[in-house]
Amino acid sequence: MFSSNQRGYYDLYRISVGKPDSEELLLESPAHKTAGCWSPDGRFLVYVSEDDLWMLPMSGQGDPVALVSSEFEEERPCFSPDGQWLAYSSTETGRREVFAVPFPHADRKWQISVNGGGWPMWTDRQLFYVGFAEGILQAVTVRTEESSLVIGAPEALYDVSDTRGGTASRDGQRALCFLPVQEGAAERLSLVVNWTAALERP
């Protein structure tokens, strides 16, 4: 899934991995749309448009539905592994914080971050987010109890003050953070294969 403005507005497209000729227009409208995330079962797509979160059924039946809509800025949606919850960031407190709502009926809301936060990354038992005040990757234990969320205290992990977002493995053992290219650095990517062999050398 990706966004492209090849028709004037940023619309939503999808393409099969390894099949460059399979590009398909998913949603076209006179409003910019930012690709968000798939539900784990593939039935829904959540995206951002005009600072709100929208849900698009992937069955082809039904129009987009506003999922989280307010006067504030919502962005960076991220599904829980079981698809029952959606984390996102919002400016509703006056600064950007991470919240979580049940899916698909976002009728309740829990604040996850403290002292500012964004870029939520959900794993099996934790939510990672970037704490903006300290620039630290934080981990919060999250569990469900009687259809509610029980949220633990944030645990500081790593300094990621320069991050531009990221993702985490489902088991929570690894996190990938995107950093800006330093001025003067070569703007290219290198693929390193068989890198584990180097760890075995004396």
Q: What does the DSSP assignment read for 33-90? A: EEEEEE-TTSSEEEEEETTEEEEEETTS-S--EEEE--SS-EEEEEE-TTSSEEEEEE
| pLDDT for residue 42 is more than 60 | yes
Sheet holding 24-27, edge to edge: 2-4, 11-14, 24-27
| pLDDT for residue 144 is more than 70 | yes
Identity (one letter) of the amino acid at 40? P
Please tell me the predicted confidence (pLDDT) of residue 130. 87
Please tell me the predicted confidence (pLDDT) of residue 12. 94
What would the two tokens of residue 173 be? 């053992």
Give the pTM: 0.79
- What Å distances lie between residue 16 and 22, 49, 81, 110, 156, CA to CA? 6, 24, 22, 35, 37
Identity (one letter) of the amino acid at 138? Q
Q: How many helices (H) and strands (E) does the chain have?
A: 1, 18
Please tell me the predicted confidence (pLDDT) of residue 124. 82
Would you mind telling me the total number of residues written for the chain in this entry?
A: 202
CA distance 152 to 90: 20
Ranges of each domain in the chain: 2-199
Please tell me the predicted confidence (pLDDT) of residue 71. 94
pLDDT tens digits, one per residue of 166-187: 666 666 566 666 665 556 555 5
Is the domain spanning 2-199 CATH 2.120.10.30? The answer is yes
